[in-house]
Structure 1
């Protein structure tokens, strides 16, 4: 099973080698490493690993946390499949058939952006007005609560029984009243590089989107 481990590591030669050795010693296989940022003498990386189960993922994280200067800042299992261009494929599907673009967007966004579920939400008078469409695994629309204005951000999102999710992104769809909500129920927060990427997609699809 594919898992994502987000790491803060010293930005110096040899750090990545220690990380890969620790993962290999845990019996896991590295599928991909995505460098999110490198500044102030540290780097933030998403490491995608193949593990048997959650127990093995825990063992991997414990080994990594034990390395000097290395800190596990988040993890997600299962992680989305790594295709490399899932966001562009989603954009193509929406633009090809904009009349059903809202549902196409929410169905494909979790895979494309590493979320557990997605919803297209609507705002009225600058306030959250409700859910227009949602992907599978999303809570009932009446159970989704958003207190943030419609802007590119990582908002607080509450679901059933007041549960607050660990990672969420809110993305305006063009300049209208619709936004794309992405939620990781138990995973790392959306990094600013991830926000920028999904924000670009939001601006493009917002020009052609036809509400359901």
Structure 2
């Protein structure tokens, strides 16, 4: 059994969401969670978290949903998300209990908040990677992926969130390659989490792995 995130763009009118849900059901998928990312111009963009039995064939999913007029699949990718869990609250709880390691904890936990694959903290002055989550590439420096303000963008097949963490002299980079580009809602979520972590952190920040 796999847990997948599926991003769907669909007409924002009564009945369409039900048609999409029925299409998932025909394929044997169980909808665990639906998150509305936007509703604008007569269309909506929703993220579905699905429990998927057996082997997963993306083309089969796209073919099944293509019979619903106006529906487009923007991305399908695996997620470690557990519907009903609160990883953001768990992160803040860990930071509150050990504020000296606030930003190490942030880097380790933040990929799961947006169904990403890895994250790194980069020293804002030198560009050196000071900590990476467990799936982060083993590099000592990151290329220039550190814009001055929070941003979501893509570098080839890699989709990135990048935002300064000024309280620690760091820049946070979050990445995924298997799904679609990060949505503004996802960027806004991480910005807010970082703001709260910075408030909880002590003035002495441990930026290394114990």
Partner of 2:143: 145
Equivalent residues in 2 for 1:185-196 (5 A)?
A: 185-196=177-188
Name the CA shift for 1:53/1:31 in 2 (closer, same or farther; >3 Å). same
Residues 161-200 of structure 1: pairs in structure 2 closer than 5 A: 164-175=156-167, 177-200=169-192
Number of matched pairs: 203
TM-score by length of 2: 0.87
Q: Cα deviation per residue 1:120-139 (whole Å; 9 max; x = unaligned)?
A: 11222xxx712110011110
Does the alignment pair 1:9 with 2:10? yes
- 1:175: Cα distance to partner? 4.9
Give the 4+ runs in structure 1 shifted more than 4 A. none
Change (3 A) 1:95 1:179: farther
Partner residue of 2:133? Answer: 135
Bigger shift: 5-14 or 192-201? 192-201
Tell me the residue number matched to 1:70: 71
In structure 2, runs of 5+ residues without a counterpart are none
For residue 86 of structure 2, what is the aligned residue in structure 1? 85
Question: Cα–Cα, structure 1 residues 65 and 166, in superposed 2: closer, same or farther, change >3 Å?
Answer: farther
1:3 Cα deviation after fit = 0.2
